[in-house]
Amino acid sequence: MHSFSYVKATSVKQAVDLLAANAEAKLLSGGMTLIPTMKARLAQPSHLIDIAGIAELSGIEVKDGKLTIGAATKHVEVSRSAVVKKAIPALAYLAGHIGDPQVRNRGTIGGSLANNDPAADYPSAALSLGATIVTNKREIAADDYFQGMFATALDAGEMIVKIVFPVPAKAAYEKFPHPASGYAMAGAFVSQHGKTVRVAITGAGPGVFRWTEAEAALGKKLAAASVESLNVDASNLNEDMHGTKEYRANLAKVMTKRAVAKLGK
């Protein structure tokens, strides 16, 4: 690693001010992506601004039909939270299947959404549930937030403070994890909101996306058989040594069917 300055911020304002004053600074929460990137010399921030201990970024609560989770909340905290398990069990399940124990005990929900890795789990939950990403400046709807591989609507100097999830009638998540990393080769988060069904696919493409054809079919009948005749468009999906575009398209369909099947249990 190259040399850098370390600062432990005690408030959101201090963290934002430090970002504004240091153009090459980076926020550090769990560090599950940033630290390995720095070790590989793919990132060389001038300052690391530690936001893990900021009280404003913690907390889990349900109010008026919405689940709010602070950005610095660790994956393990989401997975074990009685509040999350009661409000959106699928979100607790998702958090409990992220990476490995080391990642779950250090990584944070805000860090995952800010990084927006195309194979990350949380983006599918945020997009399917129609979450709102609340920053120090504004509120961003999930449909507007995710903008492709590692790209989001966040401006320079903007940081996530909390995430607000509408509590659905039902929700389920299923993924096919890469055996080494635990990242989703394809994952599907399905949620029902009244008569509306939302399906978000992660891992298969360069970014999380909604499978609108499946949403329309499932809106008519919420059953795995409803997507049997459908196929995810493979043309823009990922292809590498681990699987072809067509393979990932099929995985996305299978994971969607499995998630829908869980809704009926």
Dist. CA 77–CA 53, nearest whole Å: 14
Mean pLDDT by 10 residues, the chain (265 residues): 89 95 91 88 91 95 98 98 98 96 94 95 98 98 96 95 98 94 93 96 97 98 97 95 95 98 87
Q: Could you give all domains of the chain from N- to C-terminal order, each with its CATH number?
A: 5-50 (3.30.43.10), 56-166 (3.30.465.10), 170-263 (3.30.390.50)
What integer pLDDT is reported at residue 1 of this predicted model? 62
User: In this structure, what are the phi and psi dihedrals at residue 228, rounded to the nearest 5 degrees?
Assistant: -60, -40
What integer pLDDT is reported at residue 139 of this predicted model? 98
Asked if residues 62 and 41 have their Cβ atoms less than 8 Å apart, the reply is no
Dist. CA 52–CA 106, nearest whole Å: 10
What integer pLDDT is reported at residue 251 of this predicted model? 97
What integer pLDDT is reported at residue 181 of this predicted model? 82
What integer pLDDT is reported at residue 182 of this predicted model? 83
